[in-house]
Structure 1
Amino acid sequence: MTAEKPARVVMAAFGVLAAALALGSAELTAALIGRPEAGPLPAVGSVFIDLSPAWLKDFAIRTFGAQDKLVLLVGLAAVIVIAAAAIGIAAPRRPYLAIAALTGLAAVAGAAALSRPGSRPADVLPAVVGAAGGAFALLRTRRLSQPGPETDDPARRVLLTRGAAMLGLAVLSGGTGRAIVSARRSSADGRALVLPRPADPAGTLPAGVELNVPGLGPFTTPNRAFYRVDTALVIPRVPYQEWTLRVHGMVDRPVELSFADVLARPLTERDITLTCVSNEVGGPYAGHARWLGVDLAALLRETGIRAEADQILSRSADGWTASTALESVLDGRDALLAIAMNGQPLSPAHGFPARMVVPGLYGYVSATKWVVDLKLTRFADERAYWTRRGWAERAPIKTASRIEVPKPFAEIPAGPVTVAGTAWAQHRGVAAVEVRVDGGPWRQADLAASAGPDTWRQWRTTWQATPGQHRIEVRATDATGHTQPAERVPPIPDGATGWHTVLVTVT
């Protein structure tokens, strides 16, 4: 190996260390200005999410589930490592080119930060400080990179010392930034809140809503297990003491509420099952909770809604928007401005301080988290985040069912086998569930007690299993008499359809 090859490897490593220092200093700067979302990785990642076509987002959710954002950040980090290594190699002989490349990356990060909804001029600072730190590191090391003896070389010892210092500074700056953000986040959640008693409580769940079949999920989804699907790379942290909700647009009396105003109002408690439109047939993106909040329809009516309004355009603290049909909120269903789930204040991941919950609609048109703005408008005049990307404007949840026991490709003994799962048809209710094996006749399953039309319903049946491979299918019928169609349709543009199928081997 020639002396130049090790030098190239060393400079590539120092390029990566310079990038680490740049990212660490940028993260610290973003924390100091109170804008962690303005850091290069979250800013560029958020722009990537916004520019990605609907099919790519659907693929990411389907393939990576709740880890889709982590996969994106890892991918961005890999791109940065490759670019940083190339910049490091170029630095000794082409320093101006290396600095220009670093400046270009910083410009992309700065532009991404400034392009975000609600951005501020100071949001460019993390990119600027990060670029300055990275450039300084490169210039300090490039003069020591010329090939020489591999041992007892003072320049190499200085290079190693500076490399260790760069790594230490990167860890220290990044760690300090994270510590600052963590401290601020702990003061922005609602764990210390004492929730008022509901003026209109939900009441006790009926006996028998839970079948207690091993392997079948609980009727009420624990908060920690409740699905999360959104576009936020950095979870918005809004201190409830500073939070406000503005209701305006086509209304006679615009209002602005503080969190204290919300707590002072009569609160309603309801059991409601939510479903994400990205849920594939048999998928996991559905969950049930007991929600506490303000009657959303009553709140809107207080503003004097004008006759021409047909849409609620809601906006979250990070600028995401959703379009909800006004008629769906005013038709008598239990639509809420929710502040708590399952007896606890909303967690930041699920929308604290407040979110929308509208039974019977997919989340992308009804369940805005971190909500700060409700504008009464018209579908013809304004479009929301997902509807601009080809998804349907109106999206009632489709009747669906899934098999949870036995699991796909399970090996089970011959004889009586319990087949069980969950079905939902929010705001209509589940009337029946049928199961068949190997394309045979449909058989009615036993239904658990119903907790209301806005909740899912568990079901079970017993199958006399014989040896061999078998295909189990399920379908549900809602209270209007509509039965799930057999045709498989993907989630885009208004939710998936089809019968959930599980293959098993009986021994």
Structure 2
Amino acid sequence: MGTRVETCLRAGVAGLVSVLAGVAVGELVTLPISGDASPYQAVAAFLVDHAPAFAREFAIDTFGTADKTALMIGVGAVLVVLAIVAGLLQAWRPHWGLAIVALFAAFGVVAAVTRPTMEPAFVIPPLVAGLVSGVALVVLCRGAAPRVSEGKNGGWSRRQFIGAVGVLTAVAALSAVVARQAGRAGDIMAERLRLKLPTPTSTAAPVPAGVDVDVDGVTSFLSDNATFYRIDTALQVPRLSTADWRLRIHGMVDREITLTWDDLIAVPAIERIITLTCVSNEVGGDLAGNARWLGMPMKDILTQVGIRTDADMLLSTSVDGWTSGTSLADITDGRDALLAVGMNGEALPLEHGYPVRQVVPGLYGFVSACKWVVDWEITRFDRARAYWTDRGWGVRAPIKTASRIDRPAPLSRQPAGRVVVAGTAWAQHRGISTVEVRVDDGPWQPADLAPQYSIDTWRQWVFGWDARPGQHTLYCRATDAAGRTQPEQRVAPIPDGATGWHSRVFLVEG
């Protein structure tokens, strides 16, 4: 191998290992400070908050619930490329590579100090990461030039260089493992498991027989916590204990108050089964779930502050700074809008908002379902804008009437004869009155509806069809209790929810 080529290889490896070691040590330094001080997470969150709307929409459309994973992988890939470039520059143009490391550390500091949960100590991890990366880069790159002969020492021997890289790699790996293991939300998880939830003064009505059609392939009436969809902007799940939780209520009110956990659970709790839907859900998508929620009526809490008559919006803020804007009319009109503390008989999972989140029937989550909520500002829509509204999405966003085919599976093969078609429909806080199915270009035919549990939950349906051989396309459409039928025209989810008929293509074998 030529000397120049080997030098380049060594320099690239030096840059990569140095920066990765610095990042790993920076993550390790967050342990005595806060899990929210992670420089890697801060940089990724900064990119999310400042990315143009089209980029965020592309990520959601392309990766769905894996958008956070895709972002973290993307940030990591960019970091790797910059690290290798820094090594090459440092070997051939001393101090240029160091400048890249310094710029990246400065970016980490800026990202850290602009986080909503920022504390002065948050600047320490990115500074430490930059210092470790810079020192390691200088040392390794000085030894990157291979020895020309025993008499001319242009750098370290191959064995010395590999040894130094190995030691630094071990430091990076050990730091990363310790940071990951120790940084887990162990204390919060333990608290959650011990937490005694309040007894509801009003329990959810029992689910009658037949509400869940129990047809193979159809979504269950109730969604379990492990599979309930999750869509939010939190790259790192907030870790907030009940002791630390506070809800400040202020703005256009007669009395500003701050609730503690004890204050909250002193409010009589109720239990309700409610279906939630994400605005990002495509026609036929699975970003909807139905759970048994335990919580305190939001309207009962709002009565404590005295809302001024000209206020029309509740601006809710999560502990990580995300905001949603909810119409006060939709909270106080008698629907079961909750400050939820329980989900399916247990405390909220961390990723679903522990210890407290909002659940508002009939509204898409981006205008109502604030997780880890810590602040309520009573205001007006013409004075304040929430996170997604400020990025061009809808303002009030009631959930649109929708239906989907759960079975048969797409592109499946079915035997000729009786085929069971089944699915789910929803129009939260209005209810579903009819579901119809069309085969190819034939007439619309009514499906058999399962009993409706409530207007705030989805409803299952079944349709029997005598199938003839050939390729067929099934369509479904629903009509809500207000008489509105979902339109045929496909409309993208952004800015205020998708519309269109869901369809499935499959083959009937003779």
> What TM-score, normalized to structure 2?
0.96
Q: Is the 8 A contact 2:416 2:466 kept in 1?
A: yes
Distance 1:393 1:139 in 2: 52
1:50 equivalent in alignment to 2:52: no
Give the equivalent residue in structure 2 for 1:414. Answer: 416
Q: Is the 8 A contact 1:314 1:322 kept in 2?
A: yes
Task: In structure 1, give the amino acid aligned to 2:25.
Answer: S
Give the equivalent residue in structure 2 for 1:503. Answer: 505
Task: In structure 1, give the amino acid aligned to 2:12.
Answer: A
CA drift at 1:38: 3.0
Give the equivalent residue in structure 2 for 1:308. Answer: 310
Give the equivalent residue in structure 2 for 1:317. Answer: 319
Task: In structure 2, give the amino acid aligned to 1:424.
Answer: W
Within 5 A, what are the aligned runs for 1:154-169? 155-169=157-171
Could you report, residue by residue, the CA deviation over 1:72-118 in whole angstroms, capped at 9, with x for unpaired residues? Answer: 11111111111101111122232211111110111111111112223
Q: Which moved more, 1:320-329 or 1:202-211?
A: 202-211
Distance 1:21 1:296 in 2: 48
1:87 equivalent in alignment to 2:86: yes
Give the equivalent residue in structure 2 for 1:141. Answer: 140
Could you report, residue by residue, the CA deviation over 1:115-157 in whole angstroms, capped at 9, with x for unpaired residues? Answer: 2223222222111000000011112212211123699996322
Distance 2:299 2:447 in 1: 37
Over 3 Å counting, the alpha-carbon distance change for 1:192 and 1:150 in structure 2 is farther
Secondary structure at the residue paired with 1:117? coil
Distance 1:145 1:375 in 2: 58
Over 3 Å counting, the alpha-carbon distance change for 1:239 and 1:452 in structure 2 is same
Give the equivalent residue in structure 1 for 2:395. Answer: 393
Within 5 A, what are the aligned runs for 1:202-351? 202-351=204-353
Distance 1:48 1:505 in 2: 45
1:111 equivalent in alignment to 2:110: yes
Task: In structure 1, give the amino acid aligned to 2:256.
Answer: P
Distance 1:268 1:183 in 2: 28
Could you report, residue by residue, the CA deviation over 1:272-314 in whole angstroms, capped at 9, with x for unpaired residues? Answer: 0000001011111000001000011111012111101100000
Give the equivalent residue in structure 2 for 1:99. Answer: 98
Q: Is the 8 A contact 2:478 2:486 kept in 1?
A: yes
CA drift at 1:40: 2.6
Tell me how many residue pairs correspond in the alignment. 506
Q: Which moved more, 1:262-271 or 1:386-395?
A: 262-271
Task: In structure 1, give the amino acid aligned to 2:349.
Answer: S
Give the equivalent residue in structure 2 for 1:21. Answer: 21
Task: In structure 2, give the amino acid aligned to 1:21.
Answer: A
Q: Which moved more, 1:64-73 or 1:54-63?
A: 54-63
Give the equivalent residue in structure 1 for 2:487. Answer: 485
Q: Which moved more, 1:124-133 or 1:47-56?
A: 47-56
Q: Is the 8 A contact 1:188 1:240 kept in 2?
A: no
Distance 1:19 1:327 in 2: 52
- Structure 2 residue runs without a partner (length 5+): none
Distance 2:450 2:194 in 1: 36
Distance 1:28 1:230 in 2: 26
Distance 2:178 2:7 in 1: 32
CA drift at 1:263: 2.0
Over 3 Å counting, the alpha-carbon distance change for 1:53 and 1:466 in structure 2 is farther
Q: Is the 8 A contact 2:401 2:426 kept in 1?
A: yes
Secondary structure at the residue paired with 1:175? helix
Q: Which moved more, 1:357-366 or 1:37-46?
A: 37-46
Give the equivalent residue in structure 2 for 1:130. Answer: 129
Secondary structure at the residue paired with 2:396? coil
> What TM-score, normalized to structure 1?
0.97
1:382 equivalent in alignment to 2:384: yes
Q: Is the 8 A contact 2:188 2:239 kept in 1?
A: no
Q: Is the 8 A contact 2:145 2:156 kept in 1?
A: no
Q: Is the 8 A contact 2:297 2:339 kept in 1?
A: yes
Over 3 Å counting, the alpha-carbon distance change for 1:351 and 1:498 in structure 2 is same
